[in-house]
Structure 1
Amino acid sequence: MRVGVHFDGVLLQGREGQSIAGILLSNGQRTWRSTGGGDRGIFCGIGICQDCVLTVNGVEGVRACQRTACEGDVVEREGQG
């Protein structure tokens, strides 16, 4: 079964049970957060670091590698600028 999430206003498709990070990566998104040190995406992939954090459905600080994607999730970048 397919799952659709909205990222930067674009509908991305993934598989049911896939993490948000997995959907972003499989749709060509390598980075989704900016810090003073540069762009960040997935690093450890197991929830220890904070490189993959983003906002999901208005909740800040969600680790994309840990959060299973749900149909209709609205995913937003964090740390712009």
Structure 2
Amino acid sequence: MFQRIAESSVIDGVDIQLDGEICRVPITLSVAAAVLFIKGDADYRRHVDGHARAPFCLMGCCHECLITIDGEPNRRGCLVSVAEGMSIERQLGGSQDDG
């Protein structure tokens, strides 16, 4: 479904923290696009029952992009732009903040 274009250095980028790991991503991405850029669609998030979930519409309608941003769970990642130092945690199922 989603494919990375080419592995190259990100010149105009920001450093974000994804699940505790520092990653550099293009400054133009939404949080959802940044997670897809780093992890791909199969590892975006998990439903509480363990099934894989990933963004579908990328415009705020489907709510499949729910993610924890700066400690606030269930944010629509497609509507939030990445910012320097932002902390993002995937919702991997089995915890109280999964949607």
Q: Answer yes or no: is the 8 Å Cα contact 1:12–1:23 preserved in 2.
A: no
Query: What's the counterpart of residue 4 of structure 1?
Result: 15
Shift of 1:4: 1.2
Query: What's the counterpart of residue 74 of structure 2?
Result: 61
Question: What is the TM-score of this pair, normalised by structure 2?
Answer: 0.71
What secondary structure, in the 3-state scheme, does the structure 2 residue paired with 1:27 have? helix
Greater percentage in strand: 1
- Greater C-alpha Rg: 2
Greater percentage in helix: 2
Question: What is the TM-score of this pair, normalised by structure 1?
Answer: 0.84
Query: What's the counterpart of residue 28 of structure 2?
Result: 17
Q: Answer yes or no: is the 8 Å Cα contact 1:13–1:23 preserved in 2.
A: no
Please provide the CA RMSD for this pair.
1.7
Structure number with greater CO (CA < 8 Å, separation at least 6) is 1
Paired-residue identity, %: 28
Q: Give unpaired runs (5+ residues) of structure 2.
A: 1-11, 95-99
Question: 1:24 and 1:56 mapped to 2: Cα distance?
Answer: 12
